[in-house]
Structure 1
Amino acid sequence: MFIYVVKSGDSLFSISLKYQVSQESIRMVNGLQTFQLVPGQDLIIPSNIYIVQPNDSLYSIAKASFISSRTIKLYNNITSNSLQVGMQLYLPPRPTYTVEALSYITPSTPNKNQFLVQNSADLHTYFGIFNYQIRDDGSLSSLDDQPIVQLAKHYRVAPLAVITNLTSTEFSKTLTQKMLNSPIIKDKLIENIYNLLKQKGYVGVNIDFERVGEEERDLYSGFLYSLKKRLKPEGYITSVAIPAKTNDTTPWLLGYDYGGIGAAVDFAFIMAYDWHEASSPPGPVAPIKEIEKTIQYSLNYMKRNQIVLGFARYGYNWTMSGDKVLHAVGISISKAVNLAMKYQVPIKFSTEYQQSFFSYRDEKGQKHIVWFEDIRGKAKKLELVEKYKLRGGGAWQLGLEFPQSHLLAKKFFTIKKRI
């Protein structure tokens, strides 16, 4: 397989003709509902034969296929860098890197549960079942999770119970403060988590406490240490979801001591996204340079095999009035591309951020700016997991449509199973 970026004047027919691949296979792999395309849209071409086009080079083909120029030359008995238009090049399988993969999933209807689990099980070690919410007395909310827990285990994906400090409106800093500052409530919560895992058949826990304050920094690491101490003798996994950090000076991230957290848990899922989000000005959701800085910072405090890099399966659509943001909503990758198609605007790609973006005006003349993850951006993040030899990767969240994600992950990874 390789990536092709749609150019002005392209059609599925012309692309299929260029590379001798059926229109239907291109449409199916890329989750296209119609045969319509938009310039700048990236597509996966499901073929291991590349037919050289005008202006192609070994470098551009290597970049599109994630196979080195040297390997392409070796497998095709090419001794020079010059290529002839129409030449057919074999693209050999790329060596894969073995990882553990964790993505989050929210229990839904039986049909949707079956669809999500069955279609993603082969690419996951764990599913984070989202979510149990802590109460101010150390108890936990309820969740109708037994069907999806059993389904995950049937497909050999280890279910982790996701425990959050979510309320009906937000991730509650106050709720976490109260629990962490009360030994009685903290111990009760730990015991309730242990009982939950035992009763519901989970293999472990994933703690997702957001907005932890600087005052609770050590208390939070201590809570995780105590939790693991309670769970480990029974063979349960203790994991955590933490915000991305590139330094220890950003005020709203001081509650997360990577060193203390790394010493306390089995592994950490780093939420390497939302550099720009619904409450911020428009911009890249997951800029590649910041993500690499996050990995480099993390490795000062955690072992490589403790880090699971989180990927976004979404973007944001900001509604603007001049330079002012009126409001913004999260959108899936598929929805972002469909918006560009609907309003017939080209998709642009930032080489600096490795993210796609476009703008359009809706039926009321209102300006919108959209930034989102795409195939090229996701591939760069997969390369970082391999480059730094991390434990693995994963996503927030399954159910947000990103049709090419499955094939892309198979290109890079072999998935380790725990059950």
Structure 2
Amino acid sequence: MAGDIIVGLDIGTTKICAVVGDVRPDGIEIIGMGSHPSEGLRKGVVINIENTVDSIKEAIEEAETMAGCEISSVYIGIAGGHVKGFNSQGVIALKEKEVTQKEIDRVIEAASAVAIPMDREVIHTLVQEYIVDDQGGIIDPLGMSGVRLEARVHIVTGSVTSAQNLIKCANRAGLDVCDIVLQPLASSEAVLSREERTLGTALIDFGGGTTDLAIFSGGTIKHTSVLPLGGDNLTYDIAVGLRASKTDAEKIKIRYGCSLSSLIGPDETIEVPGVAGRKSRTLSRQILGEILEPRVEEIFSLIYGEMVHSGYEGDIRSGVVVTGGSSELPGIVEVAEQVFDTPVRIGYPQGIKGLVEVVNRPMYATAVGLVIYGAKTRKKQKKFRIRDNNIFNRVMARMKKWFKDII
């Protein structure tokens, strides 16, 4: 018996990946996947619409062929240095001395009533907890008695034009967009356990153009941020350090890369192709480690600084989970443990069935997470297209019914 088809589309800096999931009563079965190099983005932001559209079409066609179905709508991940997250809270008096759904909507609206610049838009309003008459830690206050209701929320905003360009690219590829989801939030759906969310975990999505951070504690999200550095910076460093083309540098990184020099044997060598007809060279692999290790340490150190600045560093009791394509680089766990001084593991997609062996890599965590996110929220979503009038007012209304346009 077939279920609902949900498609996650990860529009990344280095690759565009589509994962097709069949949502059944007994879980999510992955039935198709398509991936194509991304040629129209830089640091998570669209810089060439036509190239991005072509890459999306290629990935979707491959996924359709594998899944044996036609894809018409997708859930899209969003990242980039323009994405900002902050916490807010709101409080209301309970007129009927009991919490109703209307009161819940009102208190979330109150918590969301913050000044936002004209060039930014709300992507998510994520409830952290409710407080009824000073009793905190409440996940669902519906039906509780009290005289005052308070909500604490985490609000994620992004650039209007960046979000609009993502929707436009999908639409030009013949796709409707069901929702736009923050990439580390999507990845967390695929790689974090309930215990990790409750005890306290920092999720680091180490991608090609950006490195995203999401801190979870008490079962809810506490902090999000996006660092505009990623695997592309590693590739650039290799190209400069070894005097190689960017294409060759990427191949060298994938084949020989190691982010911890001490893991490299003294006699190991690498082959570096020559540029513009020059002869290829044989170099010690140790040189490659000495190029990559400082950059990886820098990225993790900046993320650690963001953790400290957020004030939630002490809540990370179960450790750090690193996922994303760049997390597959050997030595990542060891370097991360040195920087964060806490247990670190690589995050692989979990909680799925079907073509698990096809998508069981950190680089597919966001796309798989988008499918899981879509399965959880599909009854609340309606498709929208960029040609709709007042698109972002419609996006907000459909993504979060309680949010009203305050601009």
Q: TM-score, normalised to structure 1's length?
A: 0.28
Higher relative contact order (CA 8 A, sep 6+): 2
Q: Which structure's residues are more often strand, by fraction?
A: 2
